[in-house]
Amino acid sequence: MSAAEGAPESGEGGDGSDADPLTRACDRLAVCDVGAGKKLWDTKLPGAGSSLSVNGTMTDGTVVTAWGEGSAAYELTGGKRPWADTEPSACADEGFAGGEALLALLSCGDSAGPTYRVQKIDPRTGEAEWTYRVARGVQGVYLVSSSPAVIAVAAGDVAVTDPISLDEQGKHRATVRLNPDHQVLGCDRTFSAVVESCDAIVVDGKRLCLSEEDHIVSLDPGSGEETLLLLLAGGAEVGALDDPAHHDIVCEHGRILFAARTVVGPYDEGEVGETDQVAVGVESAG
């Protein structure tokens, strides 16, 4: 990726304010202090895409964004741009996964039957530290974890079939063949360019945890050996919030917390919202 320098710019961006929101040009990036409700800085991107193709993430004090035809990085403090990749290429920047490291997903060749590459990127320079080439024929690739590096592929359909773990050099470590009964939900998001979207899979250094409709299992990323971690059977209150595809499930201090990701309020005064339960906590009776 080529290096460039830049600085935040002010002003309104984008063309066609009356256009369809799904196709309207997305050409600005802003960073906000959520606690203070204040915009810290915003800048015009060196390229633009529709709202269906732009995505962003953060890692190591850097904000990174991609818009299909290019990508750029900005320092979280101040917004200075250390690098941008805007040169035409046979491979398109699909998106990034951040956190402790930075992974990039690229699609190459014909859009009707692309091949995919995953790269570990140095957020300071934009240079690739290693490249992993995904086998041909998969229908989709998702970035599950940047550190350790884990991806999920959809072989033959849009549903995830195989999580794949990579080592520190980007070499294939292991493929976890999912039992046909296991369905990884929520990775393929319609009208979204987010590639770190598999919320039902959580990874640490030693195991891969997979949330399903009524239970959570742990899988050894090397052998695929399965262990049942949690069976969700908490009655009607928990039952309204125990779908990992639509709700968050957190274990903390010996308690399990179930919470809705979105809440739909009433449209008119006096009506009742669509969500009966917003959050429920469960602890051991012992």
pTM for the predicted model, two decimal places = 0.74
156 band by pLDDT with thresholds 50, 70 and 90: confident
52 vs 30: CA distance, rounded Å: 17
39 band by pLDDT with thresholds 50, 70 and 90: very high
Q: Which is nearest to 62 in space by CA: 72, 75, 71, 46?
A: 75
Helix, coil or strand: residue 79: coil
DSSP labels, 222-262: TT--EEEEEE---HHHHHTS--TTTEEEEEETTEEEEEES-
Token pair in block for residue 57: 């993430």
Q: What angle do CA 29, 85, 80 make, to 5 degrees?
A: 45
Residue that wins the pLDDT comparison between 126 and 185: 126
Which range (77-91, 110-124, 145-159) has the least confidence? 145-159
279 vs 176: CA distance, rounded Å: 33
Q: For residue 255, what are the contacts with CB-CB under 8 A and spacing of at least 6?
A: 281, 282, 283
Q: Which residue has the tokens 């990726």?
A: 1
184 vs 191: CA distance, rounded Å: 19
223 vs 151: CA distance, rounded Å: 16
pLDDT in tens, 52-68: 678 889 999 999 999 87
pLDDT in tens, 211-236: 766 667 777 776 667 777 666 555 55
